[in-house]
């Protein structure tokens, strides 16, 4: 995979719509950001939210990256969304085949789970194993419990023991592996070496912290958030504290807010006229406060 494709998968998956998600959360759960009984100020909470969101999306991005490498290596990707006999939906992280062999993978970024979560992970793995066997049989089936980060192996002994027990009971090859080991099992170790090189380069290009001044790229921000539900904007702009502590932090130059005003004025529904009045009212308060100062 070329570096630009690798980088694009990461950037689109992790950062695209991150502003939209943050603004939605602020509107719906404002007390998480401006509540008195919190050890952080709103700006720190915004950063915390973005960083946590990026961590989660990093895992989503790596599912796409691994799939791309599997396709490059001649594996056929199979439908990974399945429904069991009770109507429960299960999503297999990777399900693919090559020649007569079927493979399924439960993929995580790192092995640092606590005791309760590690048991849940194994139970979930076995549920998916049974569902695949029900639908495809157990001939030539290989399962992987795969952690991408090779440097964290907190529960390795537990997972090794559980998968060995399961392997004996089901009569299948089930492997717990970390980092390059997965690619070695598939006999494509050079793909892991390429991932490491691409990842190092991508990280060297990242800023130290996410940008929380959304006016710095006003046009892109506007296009990302302009079609949020009106009820989100009504909550965001009708609350003086949210505007003062959150909105002013995210849009300090008012550029995106002015783009929203102009856009909402083209809408026919009354709610948009109401939102325009709310924004203009808040901006007038902001201007009056500057004049008084």
Tell me the torsion sign for CA atoms 69, 70, 74, 79.
negative
CA distances (Å), 123 to each of 66, 108, 126, 163, 277, in order? 23, 15, 5, 11, 53
Report the C-alpha gap between 52 and 237 in whole angstroms. 25
Residues 20 and 86 occupy one common structural domain: no
Structural domain includes residue 169: yes
Burial class (CB in 10 A: 0-12, 13-18, 19+), 194: middle
pLDDT band at residue 292 using 50, 70 and 90 as cut-offs: very low
CA distances (Å), 41 to each of 31, 33, 35, 105, in order? 12, 8, 9, 41
CA 254 to chain CA mean position, Å: 28
Residues 175 and 232 occupy one common structural domain: no
Residues 145 and 183 occupy one common structural domain: yes
Residues 53 and 83 occupy one common structural domain: no
Residues 38 and 81 occupy one common structural domain: no
Are the CB atoms for 195 and 65 separated by under 8 Å? yes
Report the C-alpha gap between 110 and 113 in whole angstroms. 8
Joined tokens for residue 179: 């980092």
Is the pLDDT assigned to residue 193 strictly greater than 50?
yes
State what percent of residues in the chain have pLDDT above 90. Answer: 72
Q: What is the pTM of this model?
A: 0.86
pLDDT in tens, 108-139: 999 998 878 889 999 999 999 999 998 888 88
Q: What is the pLDDT of residue 152?
A: 93
Structural domain includes residue 7: yes
Structural domain includes residue 68: no
Buried b (16+ CB within 10 A) or exposed e, 147-164: bbeeebbebeebbeebbe
pLDDT in tens, 24-41: 999 988 888 877 777 878
CATH number at residue 94: 3.40.1350
Residues 108 and 180 occupy one common structural domain: yes
Joined tokens for residue 222: 């506007």
Structural domain includes residue 65: no
Average model confidence (pLDDT) across the chain: 91
Structural domain includes residue 66: no
Q: Where are the beta strands (DSSP E) in the chain?
A: 76-77, 81-83, 89-91, 94-98, 101-108, 141-147, 173-178
**Residues in CB range of 256: below 8 A, 6 or more apart:** 214, 215, 218, 221, 222, 225
What is the number of structural domains in the chain?
A: 2
179 conformational bin, left if phi > 0, alpha if psi -120 to 50, beta if neither: left
Structural domain includes residue 199: no
pLDDT band at residue 270 using 50, 70 and 90 as cut-offs: very high
Residues 50 and 79 occupy one common structural domain: no
Tally Cβ neighbours within 10 Å of residue 204.
7
* Domain that residue 27 falls in: 3-60+208-292
Residues 223 and 277 occupy one common structural domain: yes
Average pLDDT over residues 176-185: 96
């Amino acid at each position: 995979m070329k570096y630009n494709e690798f980088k694009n998968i990461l950037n689109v998956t992790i950062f695209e719509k991150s502003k939209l998600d943050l603004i939605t959360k602020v509107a719906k759960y404002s007390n998480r950001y401006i509540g008195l009984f919190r050890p952080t100020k709103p700006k720190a909470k915004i950063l915390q939210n973005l960083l946590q969101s990026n961590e989660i999306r990093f895992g989503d991005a790596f599912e796409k990256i691994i799939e791309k490498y599997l396709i490059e290596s001649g594996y056929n990707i199979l439908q990974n969304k399945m429904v069991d006999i009770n109507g429960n939906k299960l999503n297999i992280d990777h399900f693919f085949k090559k020649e007569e062999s079927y493979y399924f993978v439960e993929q995580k970024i790192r092995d640092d789970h606590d005791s309760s979560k590690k048991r849940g992970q194994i139970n979930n793995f076995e549920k998916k194993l049974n569902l695949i066997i029900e639908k495809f049989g157990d001939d030539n089936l290989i399962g992987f419990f795969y952690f991408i980060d090779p440097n964290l192996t907190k529960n390795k002994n537990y997972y090794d023991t559980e998968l060995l027990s399961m392997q004996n009971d089901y009569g299948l090859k089930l492997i717990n592996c970390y980092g390059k080991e997965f690619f070695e099992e598939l006999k494509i170790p050079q793909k892991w070496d390429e991932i490491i090189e691409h990842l190092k380069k991508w990280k060297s290009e990242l800023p130290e912290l996410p940008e929380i001044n959304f006016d710095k790229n006003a046009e892109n921000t506007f296009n990302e958030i302009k079609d949020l539900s009106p009820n989100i904007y009504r909550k965001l702009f009708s609350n003086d504290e949210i505007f003062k502590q959150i909105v002013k932090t995210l849009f300090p130059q008012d550029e995106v807010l002015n783009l929203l005003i102009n856009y909402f004025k083209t809408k026919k529904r009354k709610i948009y006229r109401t939102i325009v009045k709310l924004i203009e009212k808040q901006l007038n308060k902001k201007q009056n406060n500057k004049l008084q100062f």
